[in-house]
Structures are given as structure tokens and as C-alpha cells.
Amino acid sequence: MRPILIILSLLAYTSCFSQQLVKKQADARLIIEQKERFINKPLKDLLKEIKPEIKNAFGYDAGDHGMPAYFRFKFVTKEQSDSLRAKNLSPIVIFVYVKENIDWFGRTKRTKETSQTWTEDDFRNYKDFTVIDLWIYNDATTDN
């Protein structure tokens, strides 16, 4: 009985120290350093490691261009992105390539206002999609 208590205590102790990989926008580069950790895993495994809110998202279906379907995630709104670009800065963009076809406008009801918004419905609809590749571009953030 005592060894079981010790093991449970150790598990509880270590879980207290597990933290998200991306705590602020600038940490997004850490995803690439641990890229293999997310390949062939569900999208939810990657998303749970990202603390900053995804404020802009879009899903692109695989097409005749030979590229797989992918999501584009940004931590900034369109207005914040425009503001950064006015200063010749480009916001961080995370590209997540997936095996499945996304059907961005078909799976979730979208309006013009929500066409580039990541919602709870999106999470529910896409969380089990399989990540096959990741890329991160640019480095401007709105971190304080």
C-alpha cells in the first residue's frame, strides 16, 4: 500500500509543475523546437500547450496545389496585425498542416464577422484532426 501512495504523491507533485509550452506570444518558437512532439498527434495536444488566445484563424482545404489542408493561427486581431504592419512588423503566424480536409465554412456556421475567428465550436470540430507538420513565421508580438 505504501508504494502506491508514494507513486501517487510523485504524480501529483510533478503534475503541479507541468505548464503550457507557450505562455506568451513570443514563446511560439518553442513549438518548432519540440515539433516532433506534435506530429501525428491530435490538434488538441498542440492547442492545450498554447496559453495566449488565438484571435485570428483560418482553415485552408487541401486542393489541387498538392499541399495538405492547414490552419493559420495568429495571436492578434486583424486590427492589431494592421497596426504592426504599419510599423513594418509582421505578427507571428502558426501554420498547422493536418491530414483531414478542413471544410472551414461547412463544418461551422460562419458569418463575415466570424470568418477568421477561432471558436469553441472550431475546437470541438477540429480537435481530433491529425497534425502532420508545423511552421512558424514572423516574430512581432503584442506581448507586454
- DSSP one-letter string for the chain: -HHHHHHHHHHHHHHHH---SBSSGGGGHHHHHTGGGTTTSBHHHHHTTB-S---EEEEE---TTSPPEEEEEESS-HHHHHHHHHTT--B-EEEEEESS---HHHHS---TTTTT---HHHHHHHTTPBEEEEEEE--B----
pLDDT tens by residue, 72-98: 999 999 899 999 899 999 999 999 999
pLDDT for res 124: 93
* Per-residue burial over 117-143, b = 16 or more CB atoms within 10 Å of its CB, e = otherwise: bbeeebeebbeebebbebebeeebbbe
- Give the C-alpha separation, 12 to 19, whole Å: 14
Report the percentage of the chain scoring pLDDT > 90. 52
pTM above 0.85, yes or no: no
**Average pLDDT in the 2-17 region?**
48
User: Is the predicted pLDDT of residue 136 greater than 90, yes or no?
Assistant: yes
Give the CA count within 13 Å in the CB-facing half-sphere of 5: 2
